[in-house]
Amino acid sequence: MNKIEIYTSKNNQTEINVNFDGDTVWLSLNQISSLFDRDKSVISRHLNKIFKIEELDKNQAVAKNATTASDGKTYLVEYFNLDAILSVGYRVNSKQGTEFRKWATKLLKNHLKKGYTINERRLEQLHQTIELITTKQISNIDEAKGLLEIIKNYNKSFSLLSKFDSNDLSKNDLSKNITYEINYDEAVNAIVNLKKELITKKEASELFGNQKDNALEGILGNILQTFAGDYLYPSIEEQAGNLLYLIIKNHPFSDGNKRIGAFMFIWFLEKNKHNLKINGELKINDNALIAIALLVANSNPKEKDLMIDLIINLIKN
């Protein structure tokens, strides 16, 4: 936590010193309470539930920092990252959460462009994944080799790798023609039908697709967030990328999160008629889909935006 920015709400009622570190921001319990104008006990209860249902990994979302209080004494204070802040915001005040997210995202991008944040591990992470595949150090080698197919078959792959390294993946030329808005009841019904099919094939148990809590509904609500009447994620690619990532990483189901995430990703693309290339071929084949799901599942939560941007670039146009 090595740089401070001051966040001021649009009504000028809230002013908070925000810690920037790496590619996220950090707020203490007191600051989150001030941000959303809720009692600390309310915020604490939401955070405990978020970690209890494993919506977020507490080890990744919480950091302790020595802070000097007004009494002159130094205390170890817990700080919560942007994912945790937004998860609370969705539960108590989505409008204020959206406002804060847009502000934080803009500042983070500026920090990256100006060199405040240098993450040399981004490309290394992908390289390590490829190395694991090529050296057969993972058990499901036949499935995971789809990642190599992505790299081999996409003409833009080397450009993507370079942009992946510099966190400069483009969000230009995305499809804003969202004809299908994902619906919770329809999504649940589709998952139920998938479960029946897999059980018939003896590829799943009764645990498959059982929701832990209301996390799935929260994920879909996150994707459909609006600000001033417009989608926070205004393109098919952005909504699809977030859908795949959040289902896999937030574990809303007792079993089958990767399979359900991959299924919902393709289902959503098909609903929006965005699953095929111009020549009629699938944008993402079976092996590629499995590889992306594995890459997301094994990624560092701090790389969330980067992973989603990579997915977006693989399915756009």
Residue 196, pLDDT score? 92
> In what helix (H) or strand (E) does residue 58 lie, and over which residues does it extend?
helix 58-61
| Separation between Cα atoms, residue 295 and residue 272, nearest integer Å | 24
Residue 309, pLDDT score? 85
Q: Which residues of 51-76 are buried (b: 16+ CB within 10 A; e: fewer)?
A: bebebbeeeebbbeeeeeeeeeeeee
The burial of 217, by beta-carbon neighbours within 10 Å (0-12 exposed, 13-18 middle, 19 or more buried), is given as middle
| Separation between Cα atoms, residue 196 and residue 191, nearest integer Å | 9
| Separation between Cα atoms, residue 240 and residue 217, nearest integer Å | 15
Phi-psi region of 192 (alpha: psi -120 to 50; beta: other; left: phi over 0): alpha
φ and ψ at residue 192, rounded to 5 degrees = -60, -45
pLDDT means over runs of 10, the chain (317 residues): 59 65 78 85 92 86 78 81 82 72 68 44 50 48 48 44 55 82 93 92 90 91 87 91 94 92 92 83 75 82 85 81
Residue 164, pLDDT score? 52
Residue 26, pLDDT score? 84
Q: Is there a contact between 298 and 131 (Cβ–Cβ < 8 Å)?
A: no
Residue 2, pLDDT score? 52
